[in-house]
Chain A
Amino acid sequence: MNEESKHVCMEEASEEELLARLDEVIAEYKDKPGALIPVLQIAQAMFGYLPESALKKISLGLNKPYSEVAGVVTFYSFFSTQPRGKHMIRVCLGTACYVRGGKQVLSAIRDKLHIDVGETTKDKMFSLEVARCFGACGLAPAIMVDNDVHQRVKPARIQAILDQYLDKNIETNK
């Protein structure tokens, strides 16, 4: 289990509770060098996105200018300041995935979900982002759904992949 998933939220937690938990994370990382990115990752895993209240807390807690925190958040496509769906789909458009059909995969997902990059489905189940290389170039084209990497994806397989997550959802809702 990686650092991030350790902090994945229970959606029932209120923002106040989450912010209190973020304080603990900040306290843990405060004096470590290069703390900003890991703390942002954890915060995003907790909240599902990076709300302003969390970012300001991180800025104050890590003693980093808010402009710098925002600079890092806006630099990496991984970070989002908008609330997102239950499942995050990232389509790799790094060089290897791009030449092996990543773009077609992306447009198949767009068509299936009727959303564009950066958007979330109406039922709040899926959000779509583009990524730059997961390090799975040998098995391109790749996409990630939440923390799972799906390799050698073909447009025809998209529905099946998405269904797995819909099924999971039904199970957890039982």
Chain B
Amino acid sequence: MPKLTIDGIPVEVPDGTTIIQAAKQAGVKIPTLCYLEEVQAIGACRVCVVEVEGARTLVASCVAPVAEGMKIHTHSKRAREARKTVVELLLSDHDGDCQICVRNEDCELQDLARTLGIKEVRYQGEKSKRIVDESTPAVVRDTSKCVLCRRCITVCNEVQGVGGLFPQNRGFETVIGPAFCSDLDDVVCVQCGQCGAVCPVGAIVERDQISDVFSALDDPTKTVVVQTAPAIRAALGECFGLPPGTLVTGKMVTALRRLGFHAVFDTNFAADLCIMEEGTELLTRLKKKLVDGEDIALPMFTSCSPGWIKFLEHFYPDMIPNVSTCKSPQQMFGAIAKTYYAKKIGKKPEDIVVVSIMPCTAKKYEHQRPEMNSSGVRDVDYVLTTRELGRMIKQAGIDFVNLPDDKQDSPLGLSTGAADIFANTGGVMEAAIRTVYEIVTGRELPFDGLHVTPIEGLEGIKEASLKLEQCVPEWAFLEGATVNIAVAHGLGNARALIERVRSGEKTYHFIEIMTCPGGCIGGGGQPRFTDNSVRLARIQAIYKEDEGKQLRKSHVNPDIQKLYEEFLGHPNSEVSHHLLHTHYHARTKV
């Protein structure tokens, strides 16, 4: 264990610790830009340089390991000046229109310039070429703001295993982008937005639809309804300075009402609906396989996460039959809102505008898929990310933190705890198990607090087995069967899990995949910055929301039962198939 001093503070850290990690332990903050704790340390930006006594040059503290007896000065004159020069050089090639940049006051470069006390940029010169890529519905890239930190590349390649972005060209001509600087829409991008979630500046941002939503609200001929995804309520508060994991469900509903939405509904309602459809689909597949001897694709994969769907369509198109045909809760909601609800209020589907608030940029892509118009018109009209909703609330002058609580409207607003946990990794699976187990055995899932603990938490790939005993007569063929389930979050983990399945190393019946690390609570549209401590805080909040509910199993939601009675008939009925199920397309790998 080397002993060293950092700014005179003695520390002792394990071998192999980097200077920046040791400094953190000593309570010393070293400014950084390209560094991403737990994800990327490449010493590219040189902002984290420090002075080590006896060393000829300054060293990048994010990559330099400590050594016995080191004396490190993080804020010596030499280190300060070098750091300032580095940031000035970055600013000299940065489109610095901060006031009209979406990242204003949420920008790491701006923050650095302020922290380092930079008052002028002494370097003037040529600017890099500006490429603005608005080809996808999800994100917008602007290379004139890019600082070449490569965080997006690491996330896209190593965390997500997609490989849509890479440095193109060389030297001053370098552009971070898709192959040969083509558009994102022309490559394998799954539109998860994790690149934008780690971008320190405004080079990759969500496509802003706030003004479209304001226009819809201003149109007197339209009935504008809103749905909020399960993950919003555990993160929206962060847009207003509340700590991660603050539940703001009630305030969120009040804010949406004050923004002028005619009805405030909940994607959670549709999440309960999704469990009814997806659980039934799983049981039907098992029955076809085990009883009818049909050649049916198993394991079945969940289909709630549109980035994952696009990933599979690109990289594993032969496994499309394994994916549940259920639409995601967002799309189920849209289809029900423009049919069942439209009928109830006596409106035509084209006079209803459905706005979604999602933690996700891929949802902006999903709602534009050509299949998503079961009501005869586009089922979901606009998708705002959590960050956009935060900005919209600010633009409307609403004092969010001091809002009173309110409740979602009927009939598409009531949900169970099972729907809440859709927000995090393992949640969709747990919600499905709560219902499926009870359908098959007639008894409640016999686990403490209804939780399937082996599939909770931030482990990349999780699995569990469930033995079915004393089944009800209808499902007697499952007597004694063991159902193997697995859960992966982050597409890199999804890829590893799929490879396990394909190699025959493991046999599962049901697999949950969420595109983003941690699940939707860590989505590409969530407030920045999301690291594992933030993910865990949001997950805890979600479980708290679940446990606080009277009803915690999707099939006991009375409004869902009513929806089946009045409109759909039964799960996987013909109406259900028309409105709530979909199909997928093979796409190219390169």
Give residues in A with beta carbon < 8 Å to B: 56, 59-60, 64-71, 74-77, 81
Which of A66, A67, A74 contacts B170, CB < 8 Å? Answer: A74
Known A67-B178, A69-B179; judge A74-B168 contact (CB<8 A). Answer: yes
What separation, in Å, do the CA atoms of A76 and B168 have in the docked complex?
10
Known A56-B590, A60-B590; judge A67-B165 contact (CB<8 A). Answer: yes
In the complex, how many angstroms separate the beta carbon of B289 from the nearest chain A beta carbon?
32
20 A-B pairs in the complex with CB atoms less than 8 angstroms apart = A60-B589, A60-B590, A65-B162, A65-B166, A65-B188, A66-B187, A66-B188, A66-B590, A67-B163, A67-B165, A67-B187, A68-B157, A68-B163, A68-B166, A70-B166, A70-B180, A71-B166, A71-B179, A75-B170, A76-B170
- Residue numbers in B under 8 Å from A56 (CB-CB): 590
In the complex, how many angstroms separate the beta carbon of A165 from the nearest chain B beta carbon?
29
Interface size on B, residues (CB 8 A): 18
In the complex, how many angstroms separate the beta carbon of B35 from the nearest chain A beta carbon?
22
- Residue numbers in A under 8 Å from B187 (CB-CB): 66-67
Which of A66, A74, A76, A77 contacts B163, CB < 8 Å? Answer: A66
- Residue numbers in B under 8 Å from A60 (CB-CB): 589-590
Give chain B's interface secondary structure class.
loop
In the complex, how many angstroms separate the beta carbon of A62 from the nearest chain B beta carbon?
11
Which of B157, B167, B170 contacts A65, CB < 8 Å? Answer: B157
B573 touches A (CB below 8 Å): no
B169 touches A (CB below 8 Å): yes
B200 touches A (CB below 8 Å): no
A to B contact number (C-beta, < 8 Å): 48
Sorted nearest first, the 7 A-B pairs with minimum C-beta distance are A65-B163, A70-B179, A67-B166, A71-B166, A66-B590, A67-B179, A66-B179
In the complex, how many angstroms separate the beta carbon of A124 from the nearest chain B beta carbon?
24
In the complex, how many angstroms separate the beta carbon of B101 from the nearest chain A beta carbon?
26
**Residues of B143-190 whose CB lies within 8 A of A:** 157, 162-170, 177-180, 187-188
- Residue numbers in B under 8 Å from A77 (CB-CB): 170
Which of B180, B589, B590 contacts A74, CB < 8 Å? Answer: B180
In the complex, how many angstroms separate the beta carbon of B581 from the nearest chain A beta carbon?
32
Asked if A71 and B167 make an inter-chain contact with CB atoms under 8 angstroms apart, the answer reads: yes
Find the A residue at minimum CB distance from B178: A67
In the complex, how many angstroms separate the beta carbon of B466 from the nearest chain A beta carbon?
35
What separation, in Å, do the CA atoms of A56 and B589 have in the docked complex?
9
What separation, in Å, do the CA atoms of A75 and B172 have in the docked complex?
11
**Residues of B186-220 whose CB lies within 8 A of A:** 187-188
What separation, in Å, do the CA atoms of A71 and B182 have in the docked complex?
12
- Residue numbers in A under 8 Å from B169 (CB-CB): 74-75
Find the A residue at minimum CB distance from B179: A70
In the complex, how many angstroms separate the beta carbon of B174 from the nearest chain A beta carbon?
9
What separation, in Å, do the CA atoms of A65 and B158 have in the docked complex?
11
Find the A residue at minimum CB distance from B180: A70
What separation, in Å, do the CA atoms of A81 and B182 have in the docked complex?
14
Find the B residue at minimum CB distance from A81: B180
**Residues of B124-158 whose CB lies within 8 A of A:** 157
* Given pairs A65-B163, A66-B187, A67-B179, 7 additional interface contacts (CB within 8 A): A56-B590, A60-B590, A66-B590, A67-B163, A67-B187, A71-B166, A75-B170
Find the A residue at minimum CB distance from B189: A67
What separation, in Å, do the CA atoms of A95 and B589 have in the docked complex?
42
What separation, in Å, do the CA atoms of A68 and B187 have in the docked complex?
12
- Residue numbers in A under 8 Å from B167 (CB-CB): 71, 75
In the complex, how many angstroms separate the beta carbon of A49 from the nearest chain B beta carbon?
14
- Residue numbers in B under 8 Å from A69 (CB-CB): 179
- Residue numbers in B under 8 Å from A65 (CB-CB): 157, 162-164, 166, 188
In the complex, how many angstroms separate the beta carbon of A115 from the nearest chain B beta carbon?
21
**Residues of B540-590 whose CB lies within 8 A of A:** 589-590
- Residue numbers in B under 8 Å from A81 (CB-CB): 180
- Residue numbers in A under 8 Å from B170 (CB-CB): 74-77
In the complex, how many angstroms separate the beta carbon of B520 from the nearest chain A beta carbon?
25
